[in-house]
Chain A
Amino acid sequence: MALPQTIPLLGWAWDDLLFLLLSGVMLGAAVFVVIGRDIIRSGLSMILAFAALAGIYVLLGAVIVAAAQVLIYIGAISVLILFAIMLTQTKGGPAGLVFHRQSWAGALAAIGLALLLVMAIINTQWPQAVAERLWSATTEIALLLFGDSLYILGLQVIAVLLTAAVIGGVFLAKREDQPDPGDRERPELTSRRRPSILEQTPPPRTPVPPPQAERSYSTEAEQP
């Protein structure tokens, strides 16, 4: 069954409908990422925004980039972020403020930036759509990346950067074998405006913590 050339009732091209749908989903998911109170839901809706963006890449003819988007962003970075969220969740987090107190300045800056960019885009003559769009530039990408061009240097720099990032990430996230409990009591946090974060959540300090020891630790912290 062949689809008609345009959408029957509206008279749009199918690409336009796809573009509207994908961009609407992407912008909505991105807004929810930013304003969502529950950070886990923010992370999940970030995956939705990435997926819609992969669809937009396909609409633009960049199939390789869309595949890389699915693999890297949805597959790797989202899982990394979700694990980081699970490792750093506190009970006081969702109950507290989502935004800073000065977030109105951030909102003003973002709106100003959006207006500036949109005005600059509208007031510029851009190249119009080409007649035939190259649908898959895979061969050209491979020749550019591994042939006689400067991108081979970029490839090697990226390789070094990724290696350094892996080593740095392991080094930063590694915990010491014998954590010294003396400097971790942090008495300055208990006199903060929101001491409930420290008191309400018994912090899991070691990978397999005995829960009684944890509770006794938090009561010790409350006693003075």
Chain B
Amino acid sequence: MSQSLDAYLILSALLFSIGTFGFLARRNAIAMLMSIELMLNAVNLAVIAFGAFTPALQAHAALIALFVMAVAAAEATVGLAIVIAIFRNRRTPLVDEYTSMRD
């Protein structure tokens, strides 16, 4: 089971779907950011799995995964700063109460 690429890819697909549901369904902005982190981790898992089953690509896969991690760190920094800035103005972390552009 751990010797087939299918298992890792299915695991990655399930993790990505869980992250998708969390991003679409949660009301809390920080929970949405956590769901994005889960999705990025799922993509990383798929990349690493492909690299592990193709020996010529192993170092490339590790590098791509490291780059994705760096981008995820930057995204988390800016995203959480935006959430904190909005929270300072609106007093709520719930995204369906950010309605000042709709009203």
Contacts and interface: CB of A to CB of B under 8 A. Distances in A.
A121 B2 contact: no
Interface of A: 12-13, 15-16, 18-20, 23, 26-27, 30-31, 33-34, 39, 42-43, 46, 49-50, 53, 56-57, 59-62, 64-65, 68-69, 72-73, 76-77, 80-81, 84-85, 87-90, 92-93, 96-100, 103, 105-107, 109-111, 113-114, 117-118, 121-122, 126-130, 133-134, 137, 140-141, 143-145, 151, 154, 158, 161-162, 164-166, 168-173, 175, 184, 186, 188-189, 192, 194, 197-198, 201, 203
Contacts of B82: 172
B77 A97 contact: no
A189 B90 contact: yes
Given A30-B18, A77-B37, A162-B73, 20 more contacts: A33-B38, A34-B26, A42-B34, A65-B44, A65-B48, A65-B62, A68-B65, A72-B70, A85-B30, A98-B27, A100-B27, A100-B96, A105-B24, A109-B20, A109-B21, A118-B13, A130-B53, A165-B73, A170-B81, A197-B97
B8 A60 contact: yes
Contacts of A57: 45, 48
Contacts, number: 279
23 contacts: A19-B2, A39-B30, A43-B34, A49-B38, A49-B41, A62-B58, A84-B84, A89-B93, A93-B28, A105-B24, A113-B17, A127-B53, A129-B53, A130-B53, A161-B70, A165-B78, A169-B77, A169-B78, A188-B100, A189-B91, A189-B92, A194-B97, A198-B91
Interface string B35-58: 101100100110011011111001
A34 B26 CA distance: 7
A62 B52 contact: yes
B96 to A, nearest CB: 6
Given A34-B22, A129-B53, A73 B37 contact: yes
Nearest to B4: A129
A25 to B, nearest CB: 12
Q: Which 6 residue pairs spanning A and B have beta carbons closest together?
A: A106-B24, A165-B74, A110-B21, A103-B25, A34-B22, A114-B17
